[in-house]
Amino acid sequence: MKKNAFTLMELLAVIALLAIIAIIVTPTIINSLQNARQNAFKDDVTMLVKAANNYYNESNITADIMVPLMTTYTAGQKTQFTKQTNGSCQSVNEGLEYSGKGPDSGQIYIDQNGNVELKLYSKTVNKCAVKGLNDKDIKLEDIAQSACTLGRSC
């Protein structure tokens, strides 16, 4: 009599082989997802730097837009814009216009020469994007959210 079914040993061998493949592939997929999230965060921060550059260029054209400007983010929202006037900090309603996801917390500072300094934190990737006034590149660092701040008042 001819049988058209798999034996128990054949089924167990296939299941074991699939389990081994899953164990090998899973870390690669997780790393790829994490890298994609980090790249998306870095792209969003790059958009913010471009928005800061646009803001500075507008300040050279329009007299009512002034630098330096500090933008503060809290819980993913722009919460405060301050600019320094005659040595004192002043809140303003203007800010950076950009598309993309905002950071969870941090600060962006534009100085009077158009240089941009920032420390912005993303809970999605648990990293802090850091750029100094004279830096060209944005670096992602493992800094706690509470320490991901510029330490400036304005």
Rounded to an integer, what distance in angstroms lies between the CA atom of residue 33 and that of residue 37?
A: 6
Domain spans in the chain, listed from the N-terminal domain onward? 8-147
Give me the pLDDT at residue 84, please.
64
pTM: 0.79
Give me the pLDDT at residue 30, please.
92
Rounded to an integer, what distance in angstroms lies between the CA atom of residue 64 and that of residue 16?
A: 70
Whether the pLDDT of residue 97 is over 90: the answer is no
> Could you give the percent of the chain with pLDDT greater than 90?
51
Q: pLDDT for 101-149, tens place per residue?
A: 889 999 999 888 889 999 999 999 999 999 999 999 999 999 999 999 9
Whole-angstrom CA distances from 40 to 4, 125, 141, 144, 146 are 51, 10, 15, 20, 22
Q: Is 21 left (phi over 0), alpha (psi -120 to 50) or beta?
A: alpha
Radius of gyration of the chain (CA): 24
Residue type, 65: I
Whether the pLDDT of residue 47 is over 70: the answer is yes
Assess contact for 79 and 95: CB atoms under 8 A. no
Task: Give the DSSP per-residue string, 121-148.
Answer: EETTTTEEEEE-TT-SS-EEE---GGG-
SS3 label, residue 7: coil
